[in-house]
Chains A and B, each alone.
Chain A
Amino acid sequence: MFLIHEARMIVPNLHQITVEAPEVARSWRPGQFVVVRAEPEGERIPLSVADLDTKSGTITFVFLNVGYTTNRLASLEAGEFLPTVVGPLGNPLQLEPVKSVLLVGGCYGMGSLYPFAKAYHELGSEVIVVSEARSSFLLYWQERYRKLTSQVFCITRDGSLGLRGHVKQMEKIFEKHGTPELMIANGCNHLLQTACATVQPFGIRSLVSLNTIMIDGTGMCGVCRVTVGGETKFACVDGPYFDGQAVDWEELTLRRKSYLYQETLSTFSSSSCNHHLPARSA
């Protein structure tokens, strides 16, 4: 059982939970993730680690409330427990000093890129942060990034702050500030794919955390398989970060939808109001 120290919504529908998991906190390195369960008979879902404190042995995740399990997670409060927080899973990224690194995050990715910002800042690399959101009220942690770098940009779909549009707008940033050496991106698959397509003509090395379905996270089930460079890989043990220019995005996008119907069913049935869709036959 893993004690929740803090749980709150940071912007609409995006939540932050800090949980005591000292063994995970001790071994975790940037790039790795954890698998959590929100309730005793709960489903296992992967989440990135957005921050950690080795002194108190806590780790922090930022997550978007999209379905059954994230909805359950969002309803938890400080003092309650998560039955499972297992990890750190996946491979840490080999962090080498580069001249400049571009961190591109959307939704929860804005949080889970923070450890890279810290790490590259310590390595002495120039850190460029790009956050993408539908509207300015969905941006968060911008001030944290500003403490580390002056190069903090945002792109909003409605143009309410920063550039208007999607991550394709990064081209404008490159024109003005030059092209970085390496991009690390985190968020939904659509954001990752668009970001990769955007930086491809600039020859920027691209590392992206692929958003697959996962169960165990240890290489046992194979549900997380993706095709990268023509080879089948397991995102949980071979990734989660891969060369974004070599990913078969079409396959990934289709596979992510494998349980679309069932997820909708369980999401509706997790609603506290029982009048929506098929009732949970509890």
Chain B
Amino acid sequence: MSENQTQPARRFSTTQEEMPKQLAEVRVQNFEEVALGYTADLAMSEARRCLNCKKPLCVTGCPVENDIPAFLSCVVRGDFETGIQILKKTNCLPAVSGRVCPQEEQCEGVCVLHKKGAPVAIGRIERFLADWEAAQGAPKLPEKCEPTGRKVAVVGSGPAGLTVAGDLVLLGHEVTVFEALHELGGVLVYGIPEFRLPKAIVRREVEYLQSLGVKLVRDFVVGKTRSLDSLLETYDAIFIGAGAGLPWFLDVPGKNLIGVYSANEYLTRLNLMKGYRFPTMPTPIVPHHRVAVVGGGNVAMDCARSALRLGAETHIVYRRSKAELPARAEEVENAEEEGVIFDFLTLPTRILGNDQGIVIGLECVRMQLGEPDASGRRTPEPIAGSEFILDADAVICALGNSPNPLIPATTPDLAVGRKGNIVADEATGQTSKARVWAGGDVVTGAATVILAMGAGRKAARSIHEYLSSLG
């Protein structure tokens, strides 16, 4: 690669630097990370494509407003240290967001180069910087403010909760995170598979928080082990980042047959419980032959690609067409490369079972797109007489999740919306209940990692203001 920095060689290139990946035939045999990440050379070369716009549109597309041109120009200079510091001012989980953000709808979707061929691969460079930092050994601990003597409880250890904990501990508050599961990280550990987000990355973030002095309590279900009100007796403020963990099932006959899973169950068995190593690990997972995954989002892709790695022929059954798939473009492409079969415009109507109650097939009907609805999406309608049976011995429902009612059910004065989401002020995260904030999926419904992190940031700021006002 030509390394002439005074004359950026790739300025006008309309194509991105490809990110090295494991070959499809190889990676379907393992659970290791698919994308291998840029090398320093590739990152510098790609960063040089940035035009350093005066009014950088990319920044407006990023939910946490990363100063993208600034860190990209550091990368161009090879000053990765400054680059990562700039990034971390606004984004405390860059190794995660660089990997899982739906960049094509966010920063990269609005990058001016998008129209000219391909946007700057911002996510890949972000990931590079974060991985570069990790490779330098344990990070320098930032200065912490003087202890304030104020105590904050954080419920849930997903990206929202981890962000709040990190921000508030640096401001001198005493922070305790309560997590229902036995591992910390929320969806990042129980949902998103190892091949897309290695668990070591999440562990590193958690250890970092611990080294800053955040107290981490596992196996503690707020609302059950202790009520929110009881925690309020000990803590000055509480942040709820409990996520959207309540799974939706297909409401069709046969929904409780053996082999019908929620995506949460399937992925939890695999990721949190490491079922893909059964019987070396004690939590079992059944190796199916033919798996139908219903849905079209990231969760559906993750289930399908996991099932494929366990040796099954895998179908994604989606009622709309390819253009409407809500999953990240990169994951759709990966799934296709790996051999996931997409059945678009297909609606499941019934799950068939044998006399042992085990799934043997999924009855579906073909759909066609009708007139656009209020949201502009064209509503799919069934085509009469097009019913058919997809042979399958497992059906995974990746249809979405809503917030778990455990906390609202035991906290009567906490206002919740129609879908069970906790109502919180968009700018501050403040809920209807005094001294209680909330953010992330528990407020918005299933969304994205970076939005959860952004909500955590805002809430931390508001909590800090409140705690400071106490004098």
Contacts and interface: CB of A to CB of B under 8 A. Distances in A.
B181 A216 contact: yes
Contacts of A259: 284, 286
B398 to A, nearest CB: 12
Contacts of B264: 220-222
Contacts of A223: 261-262, 265
A84 B180 CA distance: 11
A266 B225 contact: no
Interface string A247-282: 000110011011100110110011000000010111
A83 B182 contact: yes
B246 interface: yes
B218 interface: yes
Interface in B282-317: 282-286
Contacts of A221: 247, 262, 264-265, 268
A24 interface: yes
Interface string B355-370: 0110000000000000
B279 A265 contact: yes
B258 A219 contact: no
Contacts of B204: none
B255 A215 contact: no
A88 B225 contact: yes
Given A222-B249, A237-B406, A254 B357 contact: yes
B262 A219 contact: no
B282 A23 contact: no
A85 interface: yes
A227 B256 contact: yes
Interface in A16-40: 23-24, 26-27, 37
A124 interface: no
Given A24-B225, A43-B282, A44-B273, A254 B219 contact: no
A37 B182 CA distance: 9
A41 B357 contact: no
Given A68-B282, A222-B247, A222-B265, A85 B406 contact: no
B262 A232 contact: no
Interface string A67-96: 011001000000000011111110000000
Chain B interface SS verdict (over half): loop
Chain A interface SS verdict (over half): mixed
A220 B245 contact: yes
Contact of A218 (B245, B265, B280): B245
A215 B265 contact: yes
Contact of B221 (A215, A218, A222, A254): A218
A69 B262 CA distance: 24
B357 A220 contact: no
B226 interface: yes
A267 B256 CA distance: 26
Contact of A23 (B226, B256, B274, B285): B226
A262 B278 contact: yes
Q: How large is the interface on B (under 10, 10 to 19, 20 to 34, 35 or more residues)?
A: 35 or more
A232 B249 contact: yes
Interface string A1-28: 0000000000000000000000110110
A42 interface: yes
B404 A219 contact: yes
A253 B228 CA distance: 37
Contacts of A250: 357
A278 B273 contact: no
A257 B356 CA distance: 9
Interface in B51-79: none
Interface in B217-249: 218-221, 224-226, 245-247, 249
Contacts of A227: 256
Interface in B364-388: none
Contacts of A280: 279-280
B274 A41 contact: yes
Interface in A183-224: 215-216, 218-223
A69 B404 contact: no
B184 to A, nearest CB: 13
B182 A87 contact: no
B356 A254 contact: yes
B269 interface: yes
